[in-house]
Chains A and B, each alone.
Chain A
């Protein structure tokens, strides 16, 4: 039953929601504002900043000094590559856990998720050494593999919850119809789970795009994605707010635009299949 909410209460709720939204969005908004200012103006007080001239100077300098498109390409390859590879591994894993569960399925799921709670820096040293050994340092292949492994628990969890919504009888029908395990996954389960798989891919592309710890630690120049591109403008002594902001805006814009157009799928993804 709908609960009666008075008009005053409704307005208050709306105002509060806008306030929270603005507080969360403010840093991004401020970065966008600063990116259009000169270095000198960018460090003034907020009111002075807003009153100063708008300029594209920082963008020009950033584009001139570093190769945005190389970093962008690296980000795209790493984010998409790790996500798609992860989905490829996770579909059979989630299938077996959703449709042929054993006593330990629940435990395995929890254990997988628990690896996400491990501080990443704890395994930096061994992974760094492995990368040296395997010649993967500063390579896109290396990052694709590491980010795939980092996000795999989330991908498996998400796909598992989506698969659980698919009635087992349909898969049994496919088995009766002579579908092999491969055909069952390929022609029946995967097409039925497309909305779920799409949400999973979207969310994990964003997670991989934003991932900074591994991308900064395991790359130097060749494979550096946009996270490294931003980082190269933060320096401890000089305060290049405007350039740093311009670099940040350039780095987050693609993913922000993608997120904007796929809000519906993303909400579904973030609620792990709870919204039907």
Chain B
């Protein structure tokens, strides 16, 4: 079932069109990630759905009903903010209970739901502390707790992990994914981190300058990017995009080859190059190889430890079955 539908949604700030007419459908229970570079309009889009920004034109339907003009609280959505936006003067208990209190739910029921949410999020010991006495990860959990107790139609997350350190981020990522599996509630998640998008999403919406470049499952985007923007944005390290004679050989204006689809060898191959910086991750090694044929260095991923050092002469061979072809407008060919 379609839960949230955006129909010709437009947002202008004065004369600046941040989001040109845009259509999108989100299914019930889906985990949808909006991803794109800074300033691509992904947060604005989320705020339009939340009702924190007014839509300039178009319609937002939630559960089939027109929600374009109704107040944020009445849309049945809960939001987790980047800065957590906890109420600093209230205890964790009161923070989580706040939406229930605003909804006029009786005290006993409030307490029951707060306890339940706290148990789910491992916050039971912290209920009487204030946000200032908690770590970043705990604060984030309180923000999620405040969203859960409302039993919303959908959760909206606005870059919720960007203030956490790397290790915590991975942990919270798993927790949010697990929460989604358990609650089976629709989640819309905004991030600029494509790894977060790939690992968490059922469906990724890639945005660029307010325009949807592609919508699809993580693997769809990975295997069949619709254009060079998506090709370059999804995947880490980035796909190598090559133009010129190398591309013409494949009958394309530009070709894209992911680092894992290039073979590296000491004695033979299609392109000759010199090893520049190499990054050793243990499980993988990334080589940045400078080829005289191309203006930018190529990134090559080799499994495990491969013994090439700075300045070594190497040969590269693309895996022909994994070459992405794009025309002169940057659109995928076939």
The residues of A with any CB-CB pair to B shorter than 8 Å are 167, 169-170, 172-180, 183, 187-188, 191-192, 194
Q: Mark B282-325, 1 if CB is under 8 A from A, else 0.
A: 00000000000000000000000000000000000000000000
- Give Cα A82 to B300, complex, Å: 74
| 26 A-B pairs with C-beta separation under 8 A | A169-B85, A172-B81, A172-B85, A173-B81, A173-B85, A173-B86, A173-B146, A174-B87, A174-B98, A176-B50, A176-B77, A176-B78, A177-B73, A177-B102, A178-B74, A178-B102, A178-B103, A179-B73, A179-B98, A179-B102, A180-B102, A187-B87, A187-B98, A188-B87, A191-B89, A192-B88
- Give Cα A180 to B99, complex, Å: 11
Q: Is the CB–CB distance between B89 and A172 below 8 Å?
A: no
B52 touches A (CB below 8 Å):
yes
| Complex: chain A residue closest to B152, CB-CB | A176
* A170-B85, A188-B87, A191-B89 given; A176·B79 CB < 8 A: yes
With a cutoff of 8 Å between Cβ atoms, the chain A residues found around residue B77 in the complex are 176
| Complex: chain B residue closest to A177, CB-CB | B99
Chain A nearest CB from B37 CB (Å) reads: 22
Q: Is the CB–CB distance between A169 and B81 below 8 Å?
A: yes
- A-B interface, 4 closest residue pairs, ranked by CB to CB distance from nearest: A178-B73, A173-B85, A178-B102, A177-B99
Highest count of chain A CB atoms <10 Å: which of B50, B52, B82: B52
| Complex: chain A residue closest to B94, CB-CB | A187
Which of A170, A172, A176, A180 is close to B87, meaning CB atoms less than 8 Å apart? Answer: A170
Which of B52, B89, B103 is close to A176, meaning CB atoms less than 8 Å apart? Answer: B52
Considering only residues 100-143 of chain B, those with a C-beta below 8 Å from chain A are: 102-103
With a cutoff of 8 Å between Cβ atoms, the chain B residues found around residue A180 in the complex are 102
Chain A nearest CB from B96 CB (Å) reads: 10
- Give Cα A176 to B99, complex, Å: 8
Q: Is the CB–CB distance between A178 and B85 below 8 Å?
A: no
Highest count of chain A CB atoms <10 Å: which of B77, B83, B102: B102
Chain B nearest CB from A99 CB (Å) reads: 12
With a cutoff of 8 Å between Cβ atoms, the chain A residues found around residue B86 in the complex are 170, 173
- Give Cα A179 to B79, complex, Å: 14
* A169-B83, A172-B52 given; A177·B89 CB < 8 A: no
With a cutoff of 8 Å between Cβ atoms, the chain B residues found around residue A169 in the complex are 81-83, 85
Chain A nearest CB from B69 CB (Å) reads: 15
With a cutoff of 8 Å between Cβ atoms, the chain B residues found around residue A178 in the complex are 73-74, 99, 102-103
* A176-B50, A178-B99, A183-B102 given; A167·B72 CB < 8 A: no
With a cutoff of 8 Å between Cβ atoms, the chain B residues found around residue A177 in the complex are 73, 98-99, 102, 146, 150
With a cutoff of 8 Å between Cβ atoms, the chain A residues found around residue B87 in the complex are 170, 173-174, 187-188, 192
Chain A nearest CB from B75 CB (Å) reads: 9
